Structure 1
Amino acid sequence: MTWEVLSMIGTIAFAISGAIIAMEEEYDILGVYILGIVTAFGGGAIRNLLIGVPVAALWEQGMFFQVALLSITAVFLFPHNLLKHWKRWGNIFDAMGLAAFAIQGALYAVEMNHPLSAVIVAAVLTGSGGGIIRDLLAGRKPLVLRAEIYAAWAILAGFAVGLGITSEPWQLYILFVVTTALRILSYLYKWRLPFKSIHAAPSS
């Protein structure tokens, strides 16, 4: 039940973020719904394809689809009211969604006896795949690959689950809290991974 609640929070957060970006790009109502749904479930669909879980398993999450559709509808009908709260709490919900989905994806791969590499890939795709697809469909550079540390926390969660460090339920809850906190801290303090630009410096 706890994981269902966490997954629900992640689904709502990702669906809202997709809908908001679609409205920022001035998509029509169909585009808003498509981008919201893809953001919420795209990562899980790709994960299922790669680790061998039937894609049809997504359609068994009827309640999650209904909640995602309701969230997108609320954003479309009351954008200004929700946007004010989203700017305040959105990153916290997004961090919780990242942590919950990354751990969920890693557990899927572990249950299917996949190697550590597959567990990590499943964690990353489930936690951040939807956001990558969202940004690509919106014509933006994927935020999770260039801004604050994001996908790296999903990798960390995948390592912890894949190596068996967090096998008990209470350990998974601690991993969820730690992953969420690290994502929030990386956003607040603008932590970034090392990067190097190959653009030539302007000559004086």
Structure 2
Amino acid sequence: MTWDVLNVIGTIAFAISGAIVAMEEEYDILGVYILGAVTAFGGGAIRNLLIGVPITVLWEQELLFHIALFAMTVVFLFPKMLLKHWRTWGNFTDAIGLAAFAVQGALYAVEMGHPISAAVVAAVLTGSGGGIIRDLLAGRKPLVLRAEIYAFWAILAGLAIGYEFISTPFELYSLCVVIVILRVLSYTYKWSLPNRSFFQRKGKKLHTKN
């Protein structure tokens, strides 16, 4: 039941996210549905390939496809009602998808008997893979590669579940809430990981001595 609920939450969140990004880029109705579907299911498909799950399992999720289709249709039919709140709630919706899919992906790997490293990879790919594909198709810099902390929270979920610190349904839902809160805090307060750049903020190259 926990797995199913997380699947539904993540699918709705990412389908809406992908559909709205497509509409921001002025894609037609087919583009909206394609980008929404890729966002909702792309991460899971990549995860399945890497941890040894047959890719055909994706086509057994007929209910989730219907749920995603319904969510994208609502976005397309009532854009003004949703888009005017997107700047406020868009990142929050994406945070919900990240948390739900990261936990679900890690659970998938653990239940298959894979090691902790696989749980971490499954969490990251399931939580952020669809978003990466979405941003690339929309011609945007992937959110996971930006300065704000994103995939790191999926790594924490993978470690917590891989080491079996968290296993009961209540603990898993609590972990989802914690990840959402951390993600919201990270983009609200601009938390970032250390980085290096060869360019200054104005776009000029740094001068280095021979």
Relative to the length of structure 1, the TM-score reads 0.92
CA distances 1:15-47 after superposition (whole Å, capped 9, x unpaired) = 111111112222222111111100000000000
Any gaps of 5 or more consecutive residues in structure 2? none
Task: Give the distance between the partners of 1:175 and 1:143, measured in 2 at CA.
Answer: 22
1:71-118: CA deviation from partner (whole Å, max 9, x where unpaired): 112222221111123333333332222111101101111111112111
Shifted more, 154-163 versus 4-13: the winner is 4-13
Matched to 1:82, the amino acid is: L
- Aligned amino acid, residue 68 of structure 2: A
Amino acid at match of 1:162: G
Cα distance change of structure 1 residues 32 and 166 upon mapping to structure 2, 3 Å threshold: same
**TM-score using structure 2 length:** 0.89
Q: Any runs of at least 4 consecutive aligned residues in structure 1 with deviations exceeding 6 A, and if so which?
A: none
Q: What is the CA-CA distance between 1:69 and the residue it aligns to?
A: 0.9
Which deviates further from its counterpart, 104-113 or 166-175? 166-175
Identify the residue that residue 8 of structure 1 maps to in structure 2. 8
Measured in 2, the distance between the counterparts of 1:161 and 1:102 equals 10
1:176: how far off? 1.7
Aligned to 1:137: 137
Contact residue 99 and residue 154 of structure 1 kept, 8 A:
yes
By how many angstroms is 1:7 displaced? 2.6
Distance in 2 of aligned mates of 1:171 and 1:177 = 10
- Whole-angstrom CA distance in 1 between matches of 2:147 and 2:68: 26
SS at match of 2:48: helix
- Aligned-residue offset at 1:186: 0.8
Asked whether the equivalents of residues 6 and 100 of structure 1 are also in contact (C-alpha less than 8 Å), the reply is yes
C-alpha displacement of 1:202? 6.1
Q: Which amino acid aligns with 2:43?
A: G
- Distance in 2 between the 1:26 and 1:81 partners? 17
Q: Which residue is equivalent to 2:76?
A: 76
Q: In structure 1, what is the equivalent of residue 170 of structure 2?
A: 170
How far 1:147 sits from its partner (Å)? 3.6
CA distance in 2, matches of 1:180, 1:169: 17
> Match for 1:26: what amino acid?
E
Which piece of structure 1 moves more, 155-164 or 14-23? 14-23
Distance (Å, rounded) in 1 between the aligned partners of 2:108 and 2:6: 16
Partner residue of 1:91? 91
Counterpart in the other structure of 1:19 = 19
CA distance, structure 2, for counterparts of residue 70 and residue 169 of structure 1: 27
Counterpart residue number, 1:106? 106
Q: Matches of 1:36 and 1:153 in 2, distance apart?
A: 23
Give the Cα–Cα distance (whole angstroms) in 2 for the partners of residues 66 and 102 of structure 1.
Answer: 22
Secondary structure of the 2:85 match is helix
